[in-house]
Amino acid sequence: MCGAALCNVWITENGRETMATKSKKVAAKKNDGVVKVALLGFGTVGSSVAKVLAQSKFAGIELTHVYNRSVARKKESAAAKFVPATAKWTENIDDVLKSNVDVVIELMGGLNPTEGWLKKAITSGKHVVTANKQLIAYKGVSLQRLAAQNNVQLVYNAAVAGGVPVIPGMKQGLGGDRMQRISGIVNGTCNYILSRMETGADYATVLKDAQQLGYAEANPSADVDGFDARAKLCILSRIALHADLNPDEVATQTISSVEAVDFMYAKELNCTIRQISRAQLEGTVVHARVAPMLVPMDSPLAWSHGTQNMVVTSGLYGGDVVFSGHGAGGEPTAVAVVSDLLAVAQGAKSVELPVRKRQVTGEFMAPHYLRFVVDDKPGIVSSIAGALAKVGANIDSLLQKPGYPKHKLPFVVTTEPCLTSTIEKAMHAIGKLDCMLEKPMTLQMLVADDTAE
Amino acid sequence: MCGAALCNVWITENGRETMATKSKKVAAKKNDGVVKVALLGFGTVGSSVAKVLAQSKFAGIELTHVYNRSVARKKESAAAKFVPATAKWTENIDDVLKSNVDVVIELMGGLNPTEGWLKKAITSGKHVVTANKQLIAYKGVSLQRLAAQNNVQLVYNAAVAGGVPVIPGMKQGLGGDRMQRISGIVNGTCNYILSRMETGADYATVLKDAQQLGYAEANPSADVDGFDARAKLCILSRIALHADLNPDEVATQTISSVEAVDFMYAKELNCTIRQISRAQLEGTVVHARVAPMLVPMDSPLAWSHGTQNMVVTSGLYGGDVVFSGHGAGGEPTAVAVVSDLLAVAQGAKSVELPVRKRQVTGEFMAPHYLRFVVDDKPGIVSSIAGALAKVGANIDSLLQKPGYPKHKLPFVVTTEPCLTSTIEKAMHAIGKLDCMLEKPMTLQMLVADDTAE
């Protein structure tokens, strides 16, 4: 919001108000008040950014460069019409890095060569807006330091949860709280798969659908095995818990071993299953994990369907805050990118929160859901119960739905809260029993008030 | 997040990291790098702010003044221990306004004398952080202009939805979208009352409970009649829709005429009832209304229970984004206030969005829920249907639960989408029928894709 004295508001041809960027606060000084912008990457998000900029006509912002491989092909795409005729299309990154653009928007992803290019952009005085979660997860702290040294901004609100403003919301609005933990659904692909499976579909079918819809890659590992979510969890932890984590050290568990039967048993327990990314600070250690987990049906996390994202932050003073919306897709992510661009163009500065290196462990004290598929014989329950008793884990319930053949019988045990490592030890022993037809499945059960070790 | 070069991070006695405020970016220049803070109002929120500041020990921030009436009594309160011994307690506002404090935190509420005092604070070079929704709704634009002229900040993220960072989330994270509408539950008192009534309690009982719990005032009008929510809706509209509205022109409807029977019929329609504040921009006119409305059970707005707040923004590019959490209470609101204080202390600047005066109307095109209590006689339904037909409103359903006496029979009609003014005209005629024992009740039904006129 601003009054007349704060910024000029003027009307474009279509009668819409435009963002004021010609005020004295504007970041761009080298281009007569016009903020020149280069787009690295003209894929789904990049072309949506071009579309939003073209349709919204923010005064004082000009897209001047588009870098991509195979420019000839990109220029033929339908979205190319959103790129101004005056903009330079290039396959040579030096055309951008050696130009006088004010802001580089990076939407290529990956660590290499992106990191080197963005360092060059920063050291040559260019602001950087990026949606690159892997780069920010692994290199965000050092890049931020480099940006500060060069007196430019590095902004990455699009790197987590796309169009859901959880990063700016936490930075500007929750910095005064003492954040204790954060849980979220930050991978739309996994959420699409699991919320479809909730209604009875099986994993392979849904994955295929997701691939056809463009929600999942041909090789879906980054999504389903949790590596995408892990990067986002590290970024969220840095802001919420002021903790700099090594993404490689964050425990992950694939969703690909979740089966239709697990949803049936979850329902019996008044739960569903979601890929949850969670972290909490205990003393100087961060407990973090990305895994399919049982989520109570009355938790906000259970309400998230399809490709929706949701993040729940839990603060000592403010309690739980929920952010949710479209976490992926070209236009929602473009909203985050363009919002960052407008902030940079205005010279707006976000709150800086402290951050320090923290150790990370996958250990949680939580109830667990254990699913076995056995060739049913007398003594199996006794063996399982014995293995659990040996590590001190108490059984809370035993569920066995009728209608399955004795020789391939799925059944479920839930435990009272116990440590992840404790349950893993028992499951290792149980997995060796002769009657086990499949590797037993262990899922953490999320409860509102559980604690880390 | 910041690297070492960005800001200093240091450890207090309790080993917790603290916010860096001694960097060169610090707002305070007149006090050797220490940001001096005055608190106006030491009630629920004020004492919680003192508590958060005392417990979190943010380096470089010092509470130096507490202004309140009846200082002697306040100093006896349990929360007084959170105020540093060095701070000055005063009943004389000039002790603050003529001091060298850097930031004034205003938690007194009301327009007078608050507005005049804050103007003096601003013109004497003090930053202002406020949770005062009425002041910001009525005077926010002019105060913001004054602040800009005096090169100080006016920040009010606590004025709407307490600890839920909807204002900073929208400003920093959704500025690049073209916001089309906003709907929310922004009054915790009404949400407490209505979500309790959902489980069968009647209005009078729940209101009494709310008063005993401190959720409602002895005179609950500001809450239940919608004036509190109206102010918040105007602030949200200013940020989301870039529209400056006159709060007095926003239509309101009390929740006090909602009865237990309405929840029963709402349930039949797979809905519940919430006090909804909604606004949408159509051309140059804002359609806005604060009223109890029927909300589909599968809408996020139906999930909000107790004193929770929730805001749903709907953007052209980013779709719906949901923010929810504790919208009231001392500590959640203190989180917003302290977060604003930290931002001001760091010299962080929020994004400025354009704003312009907009006309407002209470007119919506929506289905309506009409509840009648009649002395049942032949021809009543025909008369009602006739009155609706006369204005062109189509009946969608007619509900009549068994078990009520004929001489005092509640029944419900729902209509297909029609204009608010159309339905009001019909209801005016219907209200004059001899058989009507009570003023008929009209509630707008919220549907995901409804449109303004």
3-class DSSP assignment, residue A323: strand
Cα gap A310→A188, rounded to integer Å: 10
Cα gap B280→B278, rounded to integer Å: 7
Closest CA relative to residue B163, chosen from A177, A254, A232, A154: A177
* Contact residues on chain B for A318, CB-CB shorter than 8 A: 163, 325-326, 331-332, 335-336
Closest CA relative to residue B153, chosen from B337, B354, B350: B350
Please check whether residue B444 is in contact with residue B413, taking contact to mean a CB–CB distance below 8 angstroms: no
Interface test with B, best of A1, A22, A316, A353 (most B CBs within 10 A): A1
Lowest mean pLDDT among A26-40, A396-410, A429-443, B249-263: A26-40
Cα gap A25→B244, rounded to integer Å: 23
Percent of chain A with pLDDT over 70: 92
Is the CB of B3 inside 8 Å of chain A's CB atoms?
yes
Is the CB of A341 inside 8 Å of chain B's CB atoms?
yes
| A232 is annotated as an active-site residue | yes
* Contact residues on chain A for B141, CB-CB shorter than 8 A: 1, 3
Instruction: State pLDDT tens for residues B348-400.
Output: 888 888 999 999 999 999 999 999 999 988 899 999 999 999 999 999 999 99
Instruction: State pLDDT tens for residues A73-82.
Output: 999 999 999 9
Neighbours of A361 (CB within 10 A): 18
What confidence category does residue A192 fall into, taking pLDDT thresholds of 50, 70 and 90? Answer: very high
B196: Cβ contacts below 8 Å, ≥ 6 apart = B206, B209
In this structure, the dihedral spanned by the alpha carbons of residues B239, B27, B147 and B238, taken in order and rounded to 10 degrees, is: 0
CB contact under 8 A, B326 and A339: no
Q: What is the DSSP letter of A17?
A: B
CB contact under 8 A, B17 and A176: no
pTM across the whole model? 0.92
Supply the pLDDT for residue B448. 64
Instruction: State pLDDT tens for residues A120-165.
Output: 999 999 999 999 999 999 999 999 999 999 999 999 999 999 899 9
Residue A451 is which amino acid?
A: T
* Contact residues on chain B for A195, CB-CB shorter than 8 A: none
By annotation, the residues of B acting in catalysis are 232
Across A296-314, b (16+ Cβ under 10 Å) vs e yields beebbbbbbbebbbbbbbb
Residue A431 is which amino acid?
A: G
pLDDT at residue A52 greater than cutoff 60? yes
**Element (H or E) spanning A229, and its range?**
helix A227-240
Closest CA relative to residue A130, chosen from A141, A118, A116: A118
Closest CA relative to residue A240, chosen from A168, A308, A307: A168
Q: Which fold has domain A166-325+356-361?
A: Dihydrodipicolinate Reductase; domain 2 (3.30.360)
Q: Which fold has domain B366-452?
A: Alpha-Beta Plaits (3.30.70)
Average pLDDT over residues A16-36: 53
Is the CB of B136 inside 8 Å of chain A's CB atoms?
no
Given this chain, do its domains A35-155 and A166-325+356-361 carry the same CATH topology?
no
In this structure, the dihedral spanned by the alpha carbons of residues B110, B112, B117 and B119, taken in order and rounded to 10 degrees, is: 90
Supply the pLDDT for residue B215. 87
Is the CB of A184 inside 8 Å of chain B's CB atoms?
no
In this prediction, the residues of chain B whose per-residue pLDDT falls under 50 are 1-29, 451-453
Cα gap B92→B117, rounded to integer Å: 11
Distances in whole angstroms, Cα of residue A34 to Cα of each of A30, A249, B1: 8, 44, 29
Supply the pLDDT for residue B11. 28
To the nearest whole Å, the CA of B130 is away from the closest chain A CA by 14
Please check whether residue A177 is in contact with residue A317, taking contact to mean a CB–CB distance below 8 angstroms: yes
Supply the pLDDT for residue B128. 98
Residues 279-308 of A with CB under 8 A from B: 300, 303
Burial class (CB in 10 A: 0-12, 13-18, 19+), A35: buried
Cα gap B224→B191, rounded to integer Å: 10
Lowest mean pLDDT among A94-98, A293-297, A402-406, B4-8: B4-8
3-class DSSP assignment, residue A61: strand
The catalytic residue among A51, A126, A133, A232 is A232
Supply the pLDDT for residue B113. 97
Nearest to A6 among B145, B168, B321 (CB): B145
To the nearest whole Å, the CA of A385 is away from the closest chain B CA by 39
Supply the pLDDT for residue A214. 86
pLDDT at residue A2 greater than cutoff 60? no
Place of tokens 């760091």: B346
Across B271-308, b (16+ Cβ under 10 Å) vs e yields bbbbbbbbbbbeeebbbbbbbbbbbbeebbbbbbbebb
Instruction: Give me the architecture of the B175-324 domain, per CATH.
Output: 2-Layer Sandwich (3.30)
Cα gap A205→A199, rounded to integer Å: 13
Supply the pLDDT for residue B15. 36
E-strand stretches of B203-250: 243-244
E-strand stretches of B93-222: 103-106, 127-130, 154-155, 179-185
What ipTM was estimated for this complex? 0.92
Residue B403 is which amino acid?
A: G
Angle at B330 between CA B328 and CA B333, to 5 degrees: 55
Domain ranges of chain A: 35-155, 166-325+356-361, 364-452
CB contact under 8 A, B170 and A172: no
To the nearest whole Å, the CA of B7 is away from the closest chain A CA by 8
Cα gap A261→A259, rounded to integer Å: 5
Place of tokens 């949680």: A364
To the nearest whole Å, the CA of B392 is away from the closest chain A CA by 34
Please, which residues bridge with residue A303 across strands?
none
Q: Which fold has domain A35-155?
A: Rossmann fold (3.40.50)
Q: In sequence order, what DSSP letters do the residues of B407-423 get, joined into one string?
A: GGEEEEEEESSEEHHHH
Instruction: State pLDDT tens for residues A326-376.
Output: 988 899 999 999 999 999 999 988 888 899 999 999 999 999 999 999 998
Instruction: State pLDDT tens for residues A229-239.
Output: 999 999 999 99
Supply the pLDDT for residue B13. 29
Cα gap A81→B93, rounded to integer Å: 60
pLDDT at residue A321 greater than cutoff 60? yes
CB contact under 8 A, B325 and A336: no
- What class, spelled out in words, does domain A364-452 have in CATH? alpha beta
Ramachandran region of residue A110, left (φ > 0), alpha (ψ -120 to 50) or beta? left
To the nearest whole Å, the CA of A236 is away from the closest chain B CA by 10
Residues 216-255 of A with CB under 8 A from B: 238-239, 242
Please check whether residue A61 is in contact with residue A20, taking contact to mean a CB–CB distance below 8 angstroms: no
User: Which stretches of B320-446 are DSSP H helices?
Assistant: 330-346, 380-391, 420-431
* Contact residues on chain B for A242, CB-CB shorter than 8 A: 1, 17
